Amino acid sequence: MYKILIAEDDLVIAREISIQIQNWGYETKVIEDFTQVMAEFVSFSPQLVLMDISLPFFNGYYWCKEIRKVSKVPIVFLSSAADNMNIVMAINMGADDFIAKPFDPNVLTAKIQAMLRRSYDFSGQMNLIEHKGAILNTSDATLMYQGERIELTKNDYRILQILMENKGNVVSRDMLMTRLWETDSYVDENTLTVNMARLRKKLEQAGLKNFITTKKGIGYLVE
């Protein structure tokens, strides 16, 4: 489920936007304390930010610039100040799109969906690999399934990365051991077997049963 952070100080508008996009299956969070925008951003970890220009304490341009220091997450400005100067300023500060108020809620939803597709398309050269609903983020070595984060060890992550990058194809035990060795962790036959058993148990406990298949005498695959 994609998460969308809403930085809009008119709470009536913010809640209307929130309800609209929740109806399309997105999780939302409306910022109410505008002294804590970055703290809210970090704790919520959204996939997209909707940002007004006029906000208490610091304006949207400021927060856009601060977010850009730590993240490439898509940022869409929503503002009635839709003159060319403000649009250019927003883009220069790192925004990805600008929607003028008042706007049609369905147009807003369509733009959000398009932005998320462009930013998180699994078939493109992104940092995410998806299989059977499990999403492996290769930029931070995390695994998400049904909205829950599954904690991975370094070897857990490397095994999953190799198998998911080669989904549909058998990966030999020799290849796995060679790739794991590259991470400066010594891995022999027994170590790989133990690591694989622990990873499978962890995946099953998270609801991912039979996620990894054994091809006896050959290796492993996800299919």
Under a CB-based contact definition with an 8 Å cutoff, are residues 161 and 155 in contact? no
Neighbours of 71 (CB within 10 A): 15
Residue 98 has pLDDT above 90, yes or no: no
pLDDT for residue 89: 78
pLDDT (0 to 100) of residue 123: 41
Q: What is residue 31's predicted lDDT score, i.e. its pLDDT?
A: 93
Residue 152 in contact with residue 206, Cβ under 8 Å?
A: no
CB 128 within 8 A of CB 136: yes
Q: What average pLDDT does the chain have?
A: 85
Q: Report the C-alpha gap between 117 and 119 in whole angstroms.
A: 6
Share of the chain above pLDDT 90, in %: 29
Residue 63: DSSP 8-state: H
Q: Where are the alpha helices (DSSP H) in 120-217?
A: 154-165, 173-181, 189-205
Nearest-10 Cα torsion for 187, 188, 189, 195: -30
